[in-house]
Structure 1
Amino acid sequence: MRKSYRIPTLLALFLLLGGLVGGVFLIKRGIKFSSGAKVEIKPQQVRISNIGERSFTVSWVTDEKTTGFVQYGPTEELMFTAYDDRDQISGQQGKFWTHHVTIKGLSPATDYFFKINSEGQTFDNNGRPYSVKTAPLLGEALPNDVAYGTVVKQDNSPAEGVIVYLSLANASLLSTMTKSSGNWAIPLNMARTSDLSSWAKYDKDASIEEIFVQGGPDGTATAIVLTRNDSPVPSITLGNNFDFRESPPQATPTEPPVSSKFEVKENILPSYELRIINPSSGEEINTLRPEIIGAGPPGEVVDIKVESPKVLTGKVKIGGDGNWRWLVPEELSPGQHTITVSLANGQKITRTFTVLAVGESNLPSFTASPSATLTPISTPTPTQILTFIPTSTPTPTPTLTLTPTPTPTIGGRIIIPSTEGGIPKSGSLTPTFLFSTMGAGLIFLGMFLLRIKKYDAGESARKR
């Protein structure tokens, strides 16, 4: 006679309970059954900037070139997608070290949620979406005031696609990305207070501006400048710290970032040539009277022509610092316009831009500030840019007061994770594997018990 074997009910319950307790313990300890996302594609130094009534900007860096976009929405369902500013211009996704995504068309004083997608993988704030609240509606902004300049690499070539962050005391962070020429421009008058409740107030002569430049593998740079000499800010070379409050400005080398493999080379001063700094080619602006900003040989006279339904012309003398500004004398009609600037020596540049109809966009654009070298005077409004948070990557020298911090501090209205000890993590597969294994175990245990029961029933039938 065969012996029949049975698993006591209490023992089965203890096995099941033990499996559950063990699974919870593994989750608590963070045991992983599969590797996470590649470190190289994880967003680092995530910052929220340019918080306005209807837009804000998300920026980050990666250790290798990746595609990147932001999924966002007024709820955690995240029904919308915004691509990198460069992708929005080119119409196709590119791979970059630095990432700058401007999210537009939002509602004032509204909470929004978002996640970052890097190279096809989604990253969030420790299991939940990031959160930010747009600014409330305010009255007319302060008079136009634009800070602008140029960023170059160690070999003096233009640093394209570099993120420039600018902060004023007790003001929201401003940011922008350099163009192919290395030029950048930020409207200070669009900065709000840290809590976003009003326009930021500052001294147009003596307030300190702190600038942090993130160039990815090409390194970082920091600079301090006073508001009276920020148009333009002297050229910033990646890999150095600058204090432009002193004369001549003092520059000290920064330690290269951990991910940078570029060696520091001798800095070479740039040569003057005719350039248009603003607007950029194909740029959309929302002011009917934009200010044209450029650079060229000091003392030369620039001939300017704007081709619209009505052709507008003017002349302006380039200042001793090599910069010039010209305010369009009349309002332009919405639509595409062409501007041509030229010098007597034959240098000529032609560029097209689009003026948006009133209410069509929330982006600021150059409208102008008085300048001693201008023929006309009036007011500008540059491209969308707002909010600054330096990171722990640069190491400022004693000549600087800029103290980058690893965690974004954008004000009480924003919820963002600290990046001090790490970077955003993608979702873990641990719970999935754990509960799948437990489920399969329960199924096999049930089948085993059922088979024993049938076996016992057969044995009992044979005994009769």
Structure 2
Amino acid sequence: MHTQIMTARIRLALLALAVAVVALLGASGKAWAAPSPTSEVEALRVSNISDSSVTISWTTSSATTGHIVYGTATPDQTATDVRGADVALTTHFVVISGLTPSTSYVFDVVSAGLPDTNGGAHYQFATGPSLMPAMPDTAYGRVVLSDGTTPVEGTLVYLNVQDADGSGSGGTSTSLAALTNAQGEWVADLGSTRVNDASAAFIPMCIMA
């Protein structure tokens, strides 16, 4: 499997872009490997954190349905996979919107009808404050099989931006997540990244006037 990555602007030494690709099962139903049948939640991530939305993604070894229950005190609201509530998949991608800025939430993952409550403690995320709109900075790419042409649908792509020369925010940004379409294509806005606690926009470099 290969991923081809492009960005609208190239920063070379000033910006480092880390990309992780997770593809267990394409929409065609052809598995990459022969996993043991299980609905156990694996590789759970919270990404695309803003003031009003987050993305929660995970994988399962076999194709299952999955959704998120969430809330500020107890998980009492439901968010489903962007590809449909009843679709059985091995990569799972749930976008939760309409959230309150600067607010902590708890959530559980329901996989094949079975709740994963993190041992009863619930999983957690927090939205950031409202910020001024950032200039879009598009990264995009395509995931294909080793033949270099066959696209892979339903792949999870994760990106982090790093301040490579220390002239910007420093360290690494919050995670971005994208999902490949039927052509294996994905897109993400690097301009939407934030510092690790999501309190401010992530600046990968300092531009001198």
Give the TM-score taking structure 2 as reference length. Answer: 0.74
* Number of equivalences: 162
How far 1:140 moved relative to its partner? 2.8
Identity %: 36
The question of whether the paired residues in 1 share the 8 Å contact of 2:138 and 2:190 is answered with: yes
Q: Which runs of 5+ in 1 are unaligned?
A: 1-37, 206-464
CA RMSD of aligned residues (A): 1.8
Aligned runs of 1:332-351 on 2, under 5 Å?
none
1: CA distance, partners of 2:78 / 2:65 = 13
Q: 1:90-121: per-residue Cα shift (whole Å, max 9, x none)?
A: xx510101011111111000111110011110
Aligned to 1:102: 95
| SS of equivalent residue, structure 2 residue 38 | helix
Aligned to 1:53: 51
Aligned to 2:132: 139
2: CA distance, partners of 1:148 / 1:139 = 24
Query: Does 1:79 find its partner at 2:57?
Result: no
The question of whether the paired residues in 1 share the 8 Å contact of 2:37 and 2:62 is answered with: no
Q: Which runs of 5+ in 2 are unaligned?
A: 1-35, 163-171
| SS of equivalent residue, structure 1 residue 100 | strand
Aligned to 2:18: none
The structure with the largest strand share of the pair is 2
Q: 1:95-152: per-residue Cα shift (whole Å, max 9, x none)?
A: 10101111111100011111001111011212221111111111232x2210001111
For residue 145 of structure 2, the aligned residue among 123, 135, 153 is: 153
Aligned to 1:200: 202
Aligned to 2:32: none
Is 186-195 or 124-133 further displaced after alignment? Answer: 124-133
User: What amino acid sits opposite 2:115 in the alignment?
Assistant: T
Query: Does 1:113 find its partner at 2:106?
Result: yes
2: CA distance, partners of 1:64 / 1:196 = 33
User: What amino acid sits opposite 1:167 in the alignment?
Assistant: N
2: CA distance, partners of 1:130 / 1:114 = 5
Aligned to 1:125: 118
Aligned to 2:180: 178
Using CA pairs under 8 Å that are at least 6 residues apart, name the structure with larger relative contact order, 1 or 2: 2
Aligned runs of 1:39-438 on 2, under 5 Å?
40-76=38-74, 78-87=75-84, 92-141=85-134, 143-155=135-147, 156-169=149-162, 170-203=172-205
The question of whether the paired residues in 1 share the 8 Å contact of 2:47 and 2:54 is answered with: yes
User: What amino acid sits opposite 2:53 in the alignment?
Assistant: S
User: What amino acid sits opposite 2:76 in the alignment?
Assistant: M
Moved segments of 4+, more than 4 Å: none
User: What amino acid sits opposite 1:71 in the alignment?
Assistant: V
2: CA distance, partners of 1:49 / 1:104 = 13
The structure with the largest helix share of the pair is 1
2: CA distance, partners of 1:164 / 1:52 = 18
User: What amino acid sits opposite 1:154 in the alignment?
Assistant: S
User: What amino acid sits opposite 1:51 in the alignment?
Assistant: I
1: CA distance, partners of 2:109 / 2:206 = 37
| SS of equivalent residue, structure 1 residue 202 | coil
Which entry has the higher C-alpha Rg, 1 or 2? Answer: 1
2: CA distance, partners of 1:171 / 1:114 = 23
User: What amino acid sits opposite 1:79 in the alignment?
Assistant: D
Aligned runs of 1:16-27 on 2, under 5 Å?
none
How far 1:46 moved relative to its partner? 0.7
